[in-house]
Structure 1
Amino acid sequence: MERSGTTWTATTLRDLLRPPLPRRPPAPPVPRARHGPIGMRSAPISPLDRSRLLRVGAIDIVCSIVNMQLWWMGVTMLQGLNWLQEWHLYFDQTNFIFIANEPGTVKSKDDLFTLMKSRDFIQKYVDLIEGQEIRNIVEFGVFEGGSLILFNSLLKPKKIVGIDLKLPLEHLDGFIKERGLIDNVSVHYSTSQSDNGKVSGILDREFGGEPLDLVMDDASHLFEHSRETFINVFPRVREGGWYVIEDWTADYNDGAPLANLVHKIVDMGADHRVLNQIVINANFVAVRKGKAQVTAADLRDRLA
């Protein structure tokens, strides 16, 4: 609510010159408000007006709280991102180091994790999902665990599950245990993203039938593997949830390029009931699930 000053009533010259009636006592001085910005005068407020103002004020406060909560959902990820350098992020008492395309130059250890995602890459993810409730997340391809831990800190999901072909990472498992994240951060090793039976078993146990809000495929970047993962996992994504394929321009000369899969998936966007939004940039392709219920068999036909 905005405060306003006193409304002064204009008087005529005759009223100003006319002396007061002898039998009428002089009017008492108008009380001034004790509170408010310096130099502002306020007229007295009647009990009825005061009651109305209090009710309006209470409504404004409630609305402000609701709006603040909605706003906070959208900016929480942006607030507190302390980039010490363009390649060094310190967040949630953890260091994240972007090592570009030179894996092995720096190793994750203790409270330091390496990332293959740049500052701009992370910002694109923030722009994609800010203001949305992200409860259940799956990441295929955890590298050294950096993005898994970062997204857990940023989004505060109910559950985030990492799946990777590599052997157990001692530093990652130790960090999860030390920070008390066992209940909401889980990593499954020695698992190929294209092993549909094993992946399905993991998702069934971890999420108990709950739909997924965000799936990130940052694993092999091979056409066949990525297609099998999409066919198997996309039906588990909720309406309005996101499925992201990272580094879609990668071409490892092992069969068809990953871009071919992206083209097939984008073609599905012609049916907005299946995909109601598609976001494409140099780092990833993100598709948002529509209202239609699609099965693995249906997707296999569409992506043949």
Structure 2
Amino acid sequence: MGLLSDIVFCEPTVGGQIGAAIVQLLLWSFLSDYEYGVMAHVHKYVKRQPWYPTVQENMKDDEEQLIWNYPDPGFNYVSWVQTIFHHGGAGVLMSLGMLLGQPWLWRHGMLVEVGGLDLLDAFKIAHVKFFPPGTFPTNVLLKSREWGSLMAYHHSVGLCVGIPVNMYFSEIYEFQLLGLMILGFPAICFGPGLIIKTLDKAKYPRLWFAWYMWVSLIYWLGSRTIFYFPAAWSCFLHVWSSPLGSNWHVILPFTWALLAMSAFNIMCLGVSLNDLYKRYGKDTLHAVKRS
């Protein structure tokens, strides 16, 4: 019962963390499966909707579609449903943990990322490599030159920060808030996009403009820059000044995670602002010059 209790309450022990991560891996392997799981039904539902052709048209010039190159551009929309589902699940657990004063719930929220995405993607990639053709959409994504390296970079952050924080700092508010903003806030920010992306750009240009502004300014500039950097620095100083600051097993992966996340945030902010400028800035500047 000791190990089972550690897993259920996601205790900061080796057995508790490994066991709870495996639970999240198994749970999300079903939720995110496009053949038999929940996302298979979501995919079929979305494709039946009368607005799906509009989604397909809207997603053709989406930045991610240009990189991942799905055969059906509309699938990029479905993948966003999964992303919001994933971040929302983590955010709910973390929020409940903070509101109820139950850090074990917050730790489960962190493992939604570690077990339900980082480790799960590793297994899916191995499945494609060793048992081709593997599962969709991983077998399609691996054809992109950028996806493998980007996922290795992205998932290293979750693994390097998730386990140390769960083991040693999950009861500290600063770490809880930073984790909630990184994992939970994307669901709030990107959720409205699921509605916006079903609307014709030509008929609703102002809504689309507001959407791009929202993502660029509120998410990438607000939460991932203005909030993130002071919060991450505060957490780093806490780790550095703690007794674990001299433990390279903790400080080294934690430092890498914060540096990698910082670089990722800056890169994505630049991409987002550049996309906003290409879509709206040039025309606005030309209109000003003509006037």
- Structure index of larger Rg: 1
TM-score, length basis structure 2: 0.28
TM-score, length basis structure 1: 0.27
Structure with bigger helix share is: 2
Structure with bigger strand share is: 1
